[in-house]
Chain A
Amino acid sequence: MAKVVVVTSGKGGVGKTTSTAALGAALAQRNEKTVVVDFDVGLRNLDLVMGAERRVVYDLVNVIQGDAKLTQAMIRDKRLETLFLLPASQTRDKDALTPEGVERVMDELKKHFDWIICDSPAGIERGATLAMRHADVAVVVTNPEVSSVRDSDRIIGLLDAKTERAERGERVEKHLLLTRYDAVRAERGDMLKVDDVLEILSIPLIGIVPESADVLKASNLGAPVTLADSRSAPAIAYLDAARRLAGETLPITIPGEKRGFLGKIFGRRAA
């Protein structure tokens, strides 16, 4: 059975696209057929983060408007044959996304994939509500920072009201993905603690992704961070989060304080 996952946040720039690419690749690396769908019509970026920007022929809007078949618009990843991208259009306006069109595309994708990961645009407008509309599972991407937490709370409310599942009286499974977590600032008390965010939002935690230069490097190279360097700290966090998405239970680790080279060799200090 296909699972539809929306990666959403309300607030912009918190790491939705980075997370969509990383989780999508991590699931595909488990040999599960995965498609990542860019809902950010007009401002697509998932193609860049995935390194497929030169190969975009058709997009989601072309498929919705009947100008292209779904199979023609999907781009197979060059590194993983179980990973596909359905790009957003760069030129059309947001109204080109229609609820009926999105439903048709989702129904067809469900026939062919194990995982459909929808990269939501920021905000709470049409693009964001359509991205979450068919979700079984939501990954709420949040930074440990007041405005991000507030917007996540707003999005959680929408997930409980505006989705197909909510309208059928069912629940969307919601998970918190804390990103850009800076251990040094958390230790200094300058940043919301993990427990603070969890207490406020009260949805289960699926992972903590540290603030890391490896994310920028991966996007420079056009590779999901889990593929660019699977041993890096953010990659490990995303790989673990993907395992939890797939139903495994494993303990969550809070990224430790920044360690130097020796720290890296000798590993973690005992907790």
Chain B
Amino acid sequence: MSIFRFFSKQSSAPTARERLQVLLAHERASVGQSDLVAVLREEILAVIAKHVQVDRDRVSVKMDRGEHVTTLEVDIEIPITAGVRAA
């Protein structure tokens, strides 16, 4: 075993505590009513689908649940040739 490992024993519990606080804050908020971010995600996709033909394979949705804010990143590839649907 490395000596480095022996001397680098900083505690991991504070990290665990912080991760859990963030996670549980989000999970508790989403019990009962459905998850706001999930609702936004679906509605954003629905609105876009109304106007352009989106290929579900070309959509990437990323989320990062932070302590104070969640970022929702919806990345949609719209081909130049995609016809604008009649309103």
Interface size counted on chain A using CB atoms at 8 A: 26
* Choice from A71, A91, A222 contacting B19 with Cβ under 8 Å: A222
For window 35-58 of A, CB contacts with B under 8 Å fall at 48, 51, 53-58
**Nearest-CB residue, chain A, relative to B22:** A54
Question: Does B82 sit within 8 A of A, measured CB to CB?
Answer: no
Chain A residues contacting B66 (CB-CB under 8 Å) are: 54
Q: Is the CB of A57 within 8 A of B15?
A: no
Does B68 touch A at the CB level, under 8 Å? no
Name the interface residues of B1-41: CB closer than 8 Å to any CB of A. Answer: 1-3, 5-6, 12-13, 15-16, 19, 22-23, 27, 30, 41
| B22, B30, B61 — most chain A CB neighbours (10 Å) | B61
Complex: how many Å from CA A220 to CA B10?
12
Instruction: Determine whether the beta carbon of B5 is less than 8 Å from that of A231.
Output: yes
Q: How many residues of B contact A (CB 8 A)?
A: 25
Q: Out of A72, A216, A220, A232, name the residue touching B61 (CB < 8 Å).
A: A72
* Nearest neighbor of B9 in chain A, beta-carbon distance: A217
Residues in B with CB closer than 8 Å to A31 are none
A48-B23, A54-B64, A221-B12 given; A264·B57 CB < 8 A: no
Residues of chain A with a CB closer than 8 A to B61's CB: 57-58, 72
CA distance A2 to B61 in the complex (A): 27
User: Inside 8 A of B30's CB, which chain A residues have their CB?
Assistant: 91
Say yes or no: is A90 at the interface (Cβ < 8 Å to chain B): yes
Taken together as a complex, chains A and B put the C-alpha atoms of A111 and B41 apart, in Å, by 28
Q: How far is the CB of A215 from chain B (nearest CB, A)?
A: 11
A90-B27, A229-B5 given as contacts; is B57 within 8 A of A71 (CB)?
Answer: yes
Measured CB to CB, the nearest residue on chain A to B60 is A72
Which residues of chain B are within 8 angstroms of A217 by Cβ–Cβ distance? 12
A118 to chain B, nearest CB (A): 23
- Which residues of A pack against B, CB within 8 Å? 48, 51, 53-58, 68-69, 71-72, 90-91, 216-217, 219-222, 229, 231-232, 261, 264-265
Q: Which residues of B contact A (CB under 8 A)?
A: 1-3, 5-6, 12-13, 15-16, 19, 22-23, 27, 30, 41, 56-57, 59-66
